[in-house]
Amino acid sequence: MTYLDAINKVLVRLRETQVSTPTDTDYATLIGAFVNDAKMLVEAAWDWACLRTTKTVSATVGVTSYVLTGSGGDYTFIDAYNDTSDNRLELITKNRMNTLVNLQTPPSGPPEYFCFNGLDSNGDQSILVYPTPDGAYSLKFDMVIRGTELSATGDTTALPSQPIIMYAWAMATRERGETGGTAAQEIFSLADRALADAVALEASKYQGEITWRVV
């Protein structure tokens, strides 16, 4: 679904004239803002498959600090592993990393642990690894990375379109009052149902991730 498609689908529900670009009218621009608000809401609701990606870090001898380029700060961490030495990377706290690094002489070897270490100047996630790499290693990080706002006519999102449209419609209806006798709260309820249905369909593909175990 393109940005323009989403705006026009909302405009139709509001009985407004469709537009050729997202900024054709002031009202279309407002609807575009609601579309982006709705997109952010849907993005945050689930770790969608279309947002899942793997970031690769090329570790080198003696270097312990790296950046997950392109990750941004709005992501969900799923898994990490050392693809070169075939071992998982365990996520530890910065406090534990400080203990390992500062209260003893760090050993050299294949990275086995990592911690998050704030964002770099580009807003991407920085990490520290331990032990200090003694060679070249390919470190893989599976993440859900949420996108930026839609702005251009052809900008697209692979997220489920129905809940985005419904939430944007509900927001627009709330902003100007009832539309066609349908109260905003009713449309929000329909949007919640559309989102719940989309999450349920997606969750069936990742059942292992929503299985709770007694520990």
> Do 86 and 132 fall into the same domain?
yes
Q: Is residue 24 part of a domain?
A: yes
> Do 54 and 106 fall into the same domain?
yes
State the average pLDDT over residues 183-197.
Answer: 94
Residue 97: burial class (beta carbons within 10 Å; 0-12, 13-18, 19+): buried
Mean pLDDT score of the chain: 92
Listing from the earlier edge strand, what are the strands of the sheet with 75-82?
Answer: 52-59, 137-145, 75-82, 87-88
pLDDT bracket for residue 104 (50, 70, 90): confident
Q: Is residue 130 part of a domain?
A: yes
pLDDT tens-digit readout, 123-167: 999 999 999 999 999 999 999 999 889 999 999 999 999 999 999
For the cut 80, the answer to whether the pLDDT of residue 209 exceeds it is no
Q: Residue 124 belongs to what domain range? A: 49-145
> Do 59 and 112 fall into the same domain?
yes
Helix intervals (H) in the chain: 3-13, 26-45, 94-102, 161-176, 184-203
Of all residues in the chain, the percent with pLDDT exceeding 90 is: 84
> Do 42 and 59 fall into the same domain?
no
> Do 117 and 53 fall into the same domain?
yes
State the average pLDDT over residues 98-123.
Answer: 93
Task: Supply 60's token pair.
Answer: 């080198």
For the cut 60, the answer to whether the pLDDT of residue 108 exceeds it is yes
pLDDT tens-digit readout, 28-84: 999 999 999 999 999 999 999 999 999 999 999 999 999 999 999 899 999 999 999
> Do 56 and 105 fall into the same domain?
yes
Among the ranges given (7-11, 33-37, 201-205), the one the predictor scored with the smallest mean pLDDT: 201-205
DSSP 8-class letter at 51? G
> Do 141 and 168 fall into the same domain?
no
Among the ranges given (22-36, 67-81, 113-127, 178-192), the one the predictor scored with the smallest mean pLDDT: 178-192
Q: Is residue 213 part of a domain?
A: no
> Do 60 and 123 fall into the same domain?
yes
Provide the domain count of the chain: 2
Q: Is residue 214 part of a domain?
A: no
Q: Is residue 150 part of a domain?
A: no
Q: Give Cβ neighbours of residue 45 (< 8 Å, ≥ 6 apart).
A: 195, 199
What was the pLDDT predicted at 214?
Answer: 45
> Do 41 and 56 fall into the same domain?
no
Number of helices followed by number of strands (H, E) in the chain: 5, 8
Q: Is residue 136 part of a domain?
A: yes
> Do 121 and 61 fall into the same domain?
yes
